[in-house]
Every structure is written in structure tokens, then in C-alpha cells.
């Protein structure tokens, strides 16, 4: 078990990135890349973390509600700070080939409620942007020229309140299309698709890290000013 098992350690841990991922097979490449260890096999959702690399990850299971619930659980379990970036990574269906392409979802629509979200700053130099529709059951018709998943809307509805919308990101890798049925998806295929995109994902994290550090600095300013005032005992004259 990890050193984070004792909740008293959580408050001092500094995580710059929190991942919310539906399936373990999608999460494994990220867990291995950032050398995360599972914290507690008995928790409601499996949580992995590595304070040294600054990454924490939770496996939510499939569904918009589960995604939101898992994000909340992770925030509370590890006492995540409000400068942390949140990333929903996973596979998605798409209206066109090829499988394996990676996209930033800059517009997320809940098919069930009609709610619309615009997560994150656009990283157009690194990832192409697309609209994503979150559905309550697997989509196979691909009537619209959009990505399809089952988690992002729940993630986007809640997570910006943990930090800010500019630190909320949805990244999807195409796993099935009209010409490549979702019935052909295997665990090995999912892992392979994500592993092949790790260089791009790492480049994206480099850009997001800059935003995290800027937000961390911005949020620390009030404390620094207060300490300065106490040190010099400013008085009104």
C-alpha cells in the first residue's frame, strides 16, 4: 500500500493532475507512465496516486453519474487543491475513420439533458478539437459528425467547481466508427490505442502544467500578502 493510506498525509500531498477514467484498461497506460500505486483496494472507486510525479487517478466505471461521483470521491479522499488540473481521458466512438486518432473535446453535450459545456482552453497546436456527445447507452449509428462517449458530460458538469473551467480537460481517442464496429473493441486494442498516443498526451500535460503553476501562484498571493503585512505590522495613519 502507498504512504497515502493514512488520510493525515493527504493534506500535504500536492497533485497537479487528477485523472477520471471509466475503465481500468484505459487507465493502465497512464498508471504505468506516471508510476502510480493503488491506495486502497476497499475504497468505493479504485484510486491510484504518486506524489512524486504529481498524478492521481480514479477509475469511475461507465456512465455520466459515475464519472461525477468518482471525481467528487477523489477530490475528498485526497483533499485535492483548487489549482489542480482535471482530465477525463478515454475512448470514444466517432463518425469517421481512422480509429486511434486523438481529440480534445472542446464542446461537450449531454444527449439526455441537453446541457452544453465548453471545458478547458483550446490546445489546437497539440490536438484537433471536436464536439463530443455524451450518451446513456452505446451509440452505433453515428448520425452526427461528433465524438460519442458515456462519461464526459457528468465530469464537465461538476469538476470545474473543484478548480476552474480552464483546468478541466476532456481528451478522447477514437476506438470505433461507422466502418469499425464497437463489437471489435478488445482490451488489447484499447491499451494499444492509448499507448500510441502517450507522446501527444505528455505534450498536452506540459502545456497544462504551465496553467497549473500559474494558478498555484495566483492562489498563493493572498497568503503571501497577509504574511508580509504581519511581518511589517502595517497600521492605518
On the question of pLDDT at 63 being above 60, the answer is yes
- Structure confidence at residue 1 (pLDDT): 42
Alpha-helical (H) ranges within the chain are 24-33, 64-78, 152-158, 187-196, 198-232
Mean pLDDT on 198-225:
89
In DSSP notation, 51-63 reads TTTTEEEEE--SS
- Structure confidence at residue 237 (pLDDT): 40
In DSSP notation, 78-123 reads HT--TT-EEEEEEEEEESSSPTT-EEEEEEEEETTT--EE--S---
In whole angstroms, give the CA distance from residue 93 to residue 175: 6
Nearest to 7 by CA among 71, 72, 58, 77: 77
- Structure confidence at residue 183 (pLDDT): 79
- Structure confidence at residue 225 (pLDDT): 53
- Structure confidence at residue 17 (pLDDT): 98
pLDDT tens sequence across 15-42: 999 999 999 999 999 999 999 999 977 7
In whole angstroms, give the CA distance from residue 84 to residue 37: 19
On the question of pLDDT at 6 being above 60, the answer is no
- Structure confidence at residue 8 (pLDDT): 54
- Structure confidence at residue 136 (pLDDT): 94
Q: Are 157 and 68 in contact (CB under 8 A)?
A: yes
- Structure confidence at residue 140 (pLDDT): 79
Better-scored residue on pLDDT, 183 or 60 = 60
Q: In the block, which residue shows the cell 459528425?
A: 145
* Candidate CATH numbers 3.30.930.10, 3.20.20.150, 3.40.50.2300, 3.40.50.1580; the one for domain 3-232: 3.40.50.1580
In whole angstroms, give the CA distance from residue 80 to residue 45: 16
On the question of pLDDT at 49 being above 60, the answer is yes
Q: Are 137 and 123 in contact (CB under 8 A)?
A: no
Beta bridge partner(s), residue 173: 91, 102
60-93 burial, b for 16+ CB within 10 Å, e for fewer? bbebbebbbbbbbbbbebbebbebbbbbbbbbbb
- CA triple 32-26-161, angle to 5 deg: 95
Of 121-135, 170-184, 190-204, the one with minimum mean pLDDT is 170-184
In whole angstroms, give the CA distance from residue 39 to residue 83: 22
- Structure confidence at residue 2 (pLDDT): 44
Better-scored residue on pLDDT, 115 or 1 = 115
Amino acid at each position: 500500500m502507498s504512504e497515502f493510506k493514512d488520510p493525515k498525509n493527504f493534506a500535504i500531498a500536492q497533485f497537479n493532475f487528477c485523472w477520471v477514467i471509466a475503465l481500468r484498461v484505459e487507465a493502465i497506460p497512464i498508471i504505468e507512465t506516471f508510476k502510480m500505486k493503488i491506495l486502497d483496494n476497499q475504497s468505493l472507486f479504485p484510486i491510484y496516486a504518486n506524489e512524486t510525479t504529481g498524478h492521481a487517478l480514479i477509475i469511475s466505471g461507465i456512465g455520466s453519474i459515475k464519472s461525477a461521483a468518482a471525481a467528487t470521491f477523489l477530490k475528498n479522499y485526497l483533499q485535492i487543491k483548487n489549482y489542480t488540473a482535471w482530465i477525463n481521458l478515454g475512448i470514444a466512438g466517432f463518425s469517421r475513420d481512422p480509429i486511434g486518432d486523438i481529440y480534445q473535446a472542446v464542446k461537450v453535450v449531454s444527449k439526455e439533458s441537453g446541457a452544453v459545456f465548453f471545458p478547458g482552453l483550446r490546445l489546437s497546436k497539440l490536438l484537433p478539437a471536436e464536439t463530443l456527445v455524451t450518451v446513456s447507452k452505446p451509440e452505433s449509428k453515428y448520425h452526427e459528425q461528433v465524438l460519442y462517449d458515456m462519461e464526459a458530460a457528468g465530469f464537465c458538469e461538476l469538476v470545474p467547481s473543484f478548480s476552474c473551467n480552464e483546468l478541466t480537460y476532456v481528451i478522447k481517442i477514437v476506438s470505433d466508427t461507422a466502418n469499425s464496429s464497437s463489437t471489435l473493441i478488445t482490451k488489447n486494442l484499447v491499451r494499444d490505442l492509448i499507448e500510441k498516443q502517450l507522446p501527444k498526451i505528455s505534450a498536452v500535460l506540459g502545456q497544462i502544467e504551465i496553467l497549473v503553476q500559474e494558478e498555484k501562484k495566483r492562489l498563493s498571493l493572498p497568503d503571501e500578502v497577509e504574511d508580509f503585512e504581519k511581518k511589517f505590522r502595517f497600521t492605518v495613519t
